[in-house]
Amino acid sequence: MLFKKIRERREAELKRQKKETLKKVGAALVIGSVVSTVVTLFTAPKSGKELREDVVNKVDEGTEIVKENASKIAQKTSDAAQDVMIKGQEIKEKAADKISLVKSEISKTIKDKKKQLESSGKEVKEELEETSEEVLEDLKNATEEIASEVEDLKEEISEDIKEN
């Protein structure tokens, strides 16, 4: 999407530049032809008929020169635009390849991290189970010891009460 917009902007800019160049060249050729025709007319010591024929010939020559130069400029501009399009396509392909590579690397990293987290989670769960079993065993032993001591105290108290 971004590359498409960039390409469209480049194409529009190239078209605009091509038009501007053609306008400038065309205007320069027309002005040059007119000036040379006027200079020729005023400096030529010829009759009216000969002068009109020369004017027609010079206008035809000027027109032909303008057409040739405009054609050359159009071809050069077209070639330059084609070169730009090719370079743009190459850049687009390289960028797409790099994006694809980065995307696959990120995907691989995410999968690896997910596996690590799953493995760590299993280890933590196993440790918690072992620890909870140990704690339960310790509580059971402590409860038995307390119960035994309570019994012993109960007997001592009973004996003390009987003695008094």
With 80 as the cut, is the pLDDT of residue 52 above it?
no
Judged by average pLDDT, the poorest of 47-56, 78-87, 99-108, 147-156 is 47-56
Please count the structural domains in the chain.
1
Axis crossing angle, helix 48-163 with helix 2-43, rounded to the nearest 10: 160
What is the rounded distance in angstroms from the CA atom of residue 160 to the CA atom of residue 164?
6
Cα–Cα dist 109/103, whole Å: 10
What pLDDT, on a 0 to 100 scale, did the predictor assign at position 147?
84
Distances (CA, A) of 163 to 69, 128, 149, 157, 160: 136, 51, 21, 10, 5
Identify the pLDDT of residue 32: 81
Q: Indicate whether 57 pLDDT > 70.
A: yes
Range of the domain at 157: 2-163
pTM value is 0.40
Tens of pLDDT, residues 15-47: 888 888 878 887 887 788 778 877 766 676 766
Summarize pLDDT for 141-157 with one digit per residue, the tens.
888 888 888 888 888 88
pLDDT category of residue 164 using cuts at 50, 70 and 90: low
Q: How many helices and strands in the chain, by DSSP H and E?
A: 2, 0
